[in-house]
């Protein structure tokens, strides 16, 4: 993941970012917290899966986050192949959460405001290629409705300086990445890529939404 681009890329990412957390809107269309038992799953892509995974692992109501691939075929769901940008896959995370503690819309709020820059097309920070695209892979009609409504809401409110590039597409399959990719940011905090691009996202989450973070 780590390449030769300088910290100028980070400055560019921040320049394209959204307004402060106090102004970042809640989704107008969302599920309500559900008392029913059972877990639900969200699959999101937003650049390198190391950082996106690290962000969502800190959210209350999230039970598990898996780094992997979505958008392509099972046969090509391997890191080296996905990295060619020819498989149709995007680096993604599968988030298992408790709908009695956190809603799908709240997960999307963190996704758009902290986990990545949704205005970048086929890239994220220093990484470029379709495998780093911004995508929401919906599992049902409710997820599709909430995601599309929120993107429309954010664009209409001009929350970002540019139009959101995030795709909203049906989930055809999610495939876990190799074991060494799992919990990578937590296990390798001194990796230059992690310390430069991913740990600041976790810090932003804790600063902007302390009430949503695990202690």
Q: What is the CATH number of the domain that holds 56?
A: 3.30.1060.10
Evaluate whether residue 40 is within a structural domain. yes
Model confidence at 3: pLDDT above 50: no
Model confidence at 150: pLDDT above 60: yes
Model confidence at 193: pLDDT above 60: yes
pLDDT, mean of residues 166-185? 98
Evaluate whether residue 26 is within a structural domain. yes
Indicate the average pLDDT of the chain. 91
Evaluate whether residue 3 is within a structural domain. no
Per-residue pLDDT of 71-106, as tens digits, reads 999 999 999 999 999 999 999 999 999 999 999 999
Strands 62-70 and 90-97: antiparallel
Model confidence at 7: pLDDT above 70: no
Lowest model confidence (mean pLDDT) among 21-25, 93-97, 148-152 = 21-25
Distance set, CA 59 to CA 5, 55, 95, 102, 187 (Å):
30, 7, 10, 9, 18
Q: List the domain range (segments joined by +) for residue 102.
A: 8-210
Q: What is the pLDDT of residue 130?
A: 98
Evaluate whether residue 205 is within a structural domain. yes
**Alpha carbon distance 15, 22 (integer Å):** 18
Between residues 14 and 71, which one has the greater pLDDT?
A: 71
Evaluate whether residue 215 is within a structural domain. no
Evaluate whether residue 13 is within a structural domain. yes
What is the band of 22 on the pLDDT scale with cuts at 50, 70, 90?
low
Q: What is the pLDDT of residue 34?
A: 81
Evaluate whether residue 2 is within a structural domain. no
Is 48 in the active site?
A: yes
Model confidence at 16: pLDDT above 60: no
Q: What is the pLDDT of residue 165?
A: 98
State the catalytic residue, choosing from 43, 48, 52, 136: 48
Diameter over CA atoms, the chain: 48
What total of structural domains would you count in the chain?
Answer: 1
Q: What is the pTM of this model?
A: 0.90
Q: What is the pLDDT of residue 214?
A: 95
Per-residue pLDDT of 25-71, as tens digits, reads 999 999 999 876 789 999 999 999 999 999 999 999 999 999 999 99
Evaluate whether residue 1 is within a structural domain. no
Instruction: Give percent of the chain with pLDDT exceeding 70.
Output: 89
């Amino acid at each position: 993941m780590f390449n030769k681009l300088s910290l100028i890329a980070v400055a560019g990412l921040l320049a394209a970012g959204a307004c402060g957390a106090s102004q970042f809107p809640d989704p107008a269309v969302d599920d309500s917290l559900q008392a029913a038992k059972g877990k639900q799953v969200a699959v999101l892509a937003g650049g390198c899966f190391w950082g996106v995974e690290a962000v969502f692992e800190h959210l209350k109501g999230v039970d598990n986050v898996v780094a992997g691939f979505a958008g392509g075929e099972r046969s090509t769901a391997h890191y080296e192949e996905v990295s060619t940008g020819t498989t149709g896959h995007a680096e993604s995370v599968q988030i298992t959460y408790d709908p009695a503690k956190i809603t799908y819309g709240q997960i999307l709020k963190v996704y758009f405001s902290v986990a990545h820059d949704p205005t970048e097309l086929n890239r994220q920070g220093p990484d470029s290629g379709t495998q780093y695209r911004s995508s929401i892979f919906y599992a049902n009609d409710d997820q599709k409705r909430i995601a599309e409504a929120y993107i429309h809401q954010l664009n209409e409110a001009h929350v970002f300086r540019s139009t959101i590039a995030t795709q909203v597409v049906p989930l055809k399959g999610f495939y876990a990445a190799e074991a060494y990719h799992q919990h990578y940011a937590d296990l390798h905090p001194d990796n230059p890529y992690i310390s430069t691009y991913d740990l600041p996202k976790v810090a932003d989450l804790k600063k902007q939404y302390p009430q949503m973070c695990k202690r």
